[in-house]
Amino acid sequence: MAKKRKHSETLPIVSVKKDEGALERPKRTLTGWKDKEVVKEAESGSDHAVFRNKEKVLVTCSRRINFRYRHLMLNVVSLLPHCKKDNKVESRSSKGATLNELVELKGCSSCLFFECRKHKDLYLWMSKCPSGPSVKFLVNAVHTMEELKLTGNHLKGSRPLLTFSSNFDKDVHWKLLKEIIVQIFGTPKEHRHSKPYHDHVFVFSIVDDHIWFRNYQISVPHNESVKVARGGLDKMTLIEVGPRFCLNPIKIFGGSFGGPTLYENPLYVSPNQIRALEKKKKAGKYSKKVKAKTRRKMHELSNPLEPDEFADMWKE
């Protein structure tokens, strides 16, 4: 009986020719499609590599935080498309090491930590991890977006413009704070969660040694008949969006969540001291009443009334 031929022997070998007219598919990257020739030309034309901002911010809070402060943190998260949220962290002396480890695990380079104490006081930590520096603020005058109900509205994920008052260029510690704020609140260009528009402004101004934060929408008329030319700032208006808060700097540290103290605010008064003074004032009112009563008793004892002749007249 004859052996069967293999299937490969029966099929003729056909050579597939590449279509010379078809172009090679360009390389796909995270930022889009790129042609190899264009990339090679760009690399050969530039002497050094192009800097790309890969800033990522970890935003978290401490346990037992107040609801108003938690809403403020969520407002800040909605304003920063390059941030990452994480679970609550216990507010202890070892929180610095825990936060640095979380920042490393999340692949971030900065951290915003909202620390609440006694359900009343809110402290904000801004830190560049893992080497520092870091700043500790006391947050006052908190107003969330839900409370204000302002008419301003801007696109979620759009890149903000950062504006600072001229006071930031006076002293060295204000310059350092300005640089930290720029790196944390500035959305990187071509970030995957951001949108390539500038339709709102973050305003940081120094008044009475406090940093006041405001968020405004840039409103431009959209009528076809009234088109705004480049540089036509007189027709643009600012509408506040929110939130609002005030930052009182306490200390600037050389490391991340600790280290050598670079600056300490001499005008800072802790909320505990303020509450203690208010209690003393209230206790002073009570002590005045007690002293008045004792003075009245001493006066009555030193000046007794003369006996009355008709006091026992109607007893009989």
Q: How many domains does the chain have?
A: 1
* Residue 45 predicted with pLDDT over 70: no
User: How far from each other are the two terminal CA atoms of the chain, in whole angstroms?
Assistant: 157
- Per DSSP, the three-state class of 121 is strand
More confident residue, 91 or 156: 156
139, part of any domain:
yes
Name 253's bridge partners.
134, 261
32, part of any domain:
no
Measured CA to CA, the distance from residue 26 to residue 32 in angstroms comes to: 10
35, part of any domain:
no
Task: Give the chain's mean pLDDT.
Answer: 84
Residue 282: predicted pLDDT: 84
264, part of any domain:
yes
114, part of any domain:
yes
Name 8's bridge partners.
none
More confident residue, 283 or 227: 283
Q: What is the CATH number for 65?
A: 3.40.50.10480
85, part of any domain:
yes
Residue 288: predicted pLDDT: 87
pLDDT tens across 69-110, in order? 999 999 999 999 999 999 999 888 788 899 999 999 999 999
Q: What's the burial of 252, exposed, middle or buried (CB within 10 Å: 0-12/13-18/19+)?
A: buried
Q: Closest by alpha carbon to 189, among 32, 58, 51, 76?
A: 51
Q: Closest by alpha carbon to 134, among 32, 255, 26?
A: 255
111, part of any domain:
yes
116, part of any domain:
yes
Residue 287: predicted pLDDT: 84
pLDDT tens across 51-63, in order? 678 889 999 999 9
Measured CA to CA, the distance from residue 53 to residue 133 in angstroms comes to: 19
Work out whether strand 200-207 and strand 161-164 pair parallel, antiparallel, or are unpaired. parallel
When pLDDT is averaged across residues 177-198 and rounded to a whole number, the result is 91
Measured CA to CA, the distance from residue 241 to residue 153 in angstroms comes to: 6
- Per DSSP, the residues of 247-270 read EEEEEEEEETTEEEEEEE-TT---
Measured CA to CA, the distance from residue 148 to residue 243 in angstroms comes to: 8
Count of beta carbons in the 10 Å neighbourhood of residue 19: 7
* Residue 181 predicted with pLDDT over 60: yes
Measured CA to CA, the distance from residue 241 to residue 208 in angstroms comes to: 24
pLDDT tens across 115-125, in order? 999 999 999 99
Confidence of residue 229 (pLDDT cuts 50, 70, 90): low
Query: What are 72's two structure tokens?
Result: 């403020």
According to DSSP, residue 78 is labeled: H
Measured CA to CA, the distance from residue 139 to residue 273 in angstroms comes to: 16
* Residue 268 predicted with pLDDT over 90: yes
* Residue 144, domain extent: 57-223+230-274
Q: Which helix (H) or strand (E) holds 33?
A: strand 32-34
